[in-house]
A and B are shown apart, each in its own frame.
Chain A
Amino acid sequence: EVQLLESGGGLVQPGGSLRLSCAASGFTFSSYAMSWVRQAPGKGLEWVSAISGSGGSTYYADSVKGRFTISRDNSKNTLYLQMNSLRAEDTAVYYCAKDQSSNRVVVVAADYWGQGTLVTVSS
């Protein structure tokens, strides 16, 4: 059974940093591109970042480029999102998501999602 379990969320002050993790199981992690998607309270979905299965290709939304870094450790079946210079507008539930098909460079359609972890940026 595919499982994605996010952790690392919490309360952080503006300008601070946080690292989110997504522990994956039930599939060959290194064969699948992964993404982070966020949802501000009461708002819609916003794509944040994506990474290829090997980790060699990474992509970011303009809203987080230069502040967030996506990475993965395929030996630990874990996806990460390092978030620096956090702003109030980064407050959201952050979901990790798996691509539907293996061996694609990016996530085209996400067939499994984690339960989400809440990041609150506030003083």
Chain B
Amino acid sequence: DIQMTQSPSSLSASVGDRVTITCQASQDISNYLNWYQQKPGKAPKLLIYDASNLETGVPSRFSGSGSGTDFTFTISSLQPEDIATYYCQQYDNLPPAWTFGQGTKVEIK
């Protein structure tokens, strides 16, 4: 099974800061990597799909990059409404399955 290692588990940053979260896969997953945002008490929301594609309607301050085993999620300028937990999710097709990273809780300093 593919394991996903997401870091950090939490971070505190100021409004306007650049925030970066990383996700490492235990083996090559090509670009089968998505990023979700989850606010307390709410369902997850898809932000980035296929490692670097911005989902429709998602602000451009969110971005993703990487392929193979190493992936990065970036918020270019942190906003108060970005307070949430962020998860990476990889898709495997042999057999089809998902694995989520452990999550990164983002807070305002």
Contacts and interface: CB of A to CB of B under 8 A. Distances in A.
B43 A105 contact: no
B91 A108 contact: yes
A45 B55 contact: no
A116 B100 contact: no
A113 B96 contact: no
B93 A111 contact: no
B103 A59 contact: no
Measured as residues with beta carbon below 8 angstroms from the partner, the interface class of chain B is 20 to 34
Interface residues of A, number: 23
B97 A44 contact: no
Contact of A47 (B32, B93, B99): B99
Contact of A44 (B1, B46, B100): B100
A35 interface: yes
Contact of A106 (B50, B93, B101): B93
Given A109-B46, A113-B44, A114-B43, A47 B97 contact: yes
Interface in B52-71: 55
A45 B43 contact: no
A47 B43 contact: no
Nearest to A59: B96
Given A35-B98, A45-B89, 10 more contacts: A44-B87, A44-B100, A46-B100, A50-B96, A59-B95, A59-B96, A108-B91, A109-B50, A115-B43, A116-B43
Interface of B: 1, 32, 34, 36, 38, 43-46, 49-50, 55, 87, 89, 91, 93, 95-103
